[in-house]
């Protein structure tokens, strides 16, 4: 699949937005798996060598991960049709810094094959990534509401 250079630059800037500078092959893999641009996404830098992104695009939801370890570099993705969602659980943790408490949401999407996908805002250390993840949770909840009204 040939991907437009502008699309790759846009996707790299949006998804790898916390100082991670992945090899081009990782960026291409993510763009192909996600079918960039997407409706909503939640990028997360797991460590200096590991990054993941969860996305919602049309009738699919997915997660791609890359680990750039010298020993065993790995890139993988799982894509699920939204029709395979059996339930969505939402939870929260309250963070109280003494000034004002913050509600940090989490969302778990369960699939018919027993797999699940979780987004937990407490795991996002970057403010920008946490905001994107929060918007992703809203997009999934909007999808659930739309399904109930059909």
Q: What whole-number percentage of the chain has pLDDT above 90?
A: 46
pLDDT at 47: 73
Greater pLDDT, 104 or 24 = 104
How far is the C-alpha of 57 from the C-alpha of 65, rounded, in Å?
17
- The DSSP string of 27-58 is HHHHHHHHTSS-SEEEEEEEETTEEEEEEEET
Question: 86: pLDDT confidence band, cut at 50, 70 and 90?
Answer: very high
Structure tokens at 18: 């916390």
pLDDT at 135: 95
- pLDDT tens column, 87-127: 999 999 988 777 888 889 999 999 999 999 999 999 988 88
pLDDT at 51: 84
CA angle 144, 57, 29 (to 5 degrees): 140
What's the first-to-final CA gap in the chain, in angstroms?
Answer: 35
What are the structural domain ranges in the chain?
5-148
CA angle 15, 68, 1 (to 5 degrees): 60
């Amino acid at each position: 699949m040939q991907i437009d250079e502008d699309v790759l630059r846009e996707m790299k800037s949006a998804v790898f937005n916390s100082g991670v500078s992945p090899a081009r092959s990782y960026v291409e893999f993510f763009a192909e798996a996600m079918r960039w641009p997407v409706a909503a996404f939640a990028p997360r830098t797991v460590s200096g060598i590991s990054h993941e992104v969860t996305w919602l695009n049309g009738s699919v939801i997915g997660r791609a991960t890359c680990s750039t370890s010298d020993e065993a570099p790995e890139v993988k993705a799982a894509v699920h049709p939204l029709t395979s969602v059996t339930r969505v659980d939402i939870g929260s943790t309250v963070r109280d810094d003494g000034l004002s408490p913050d509600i940090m949401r989490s969302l778990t999407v369960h699939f018919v094959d027993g797999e699940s996908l979780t987004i937990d805002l407490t795991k996002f250390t970057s403010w920008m990534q946490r905001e994107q993840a929060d918007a992703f949770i809203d997009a999934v909840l909007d999808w659930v509401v739309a399904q109930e009204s059909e």
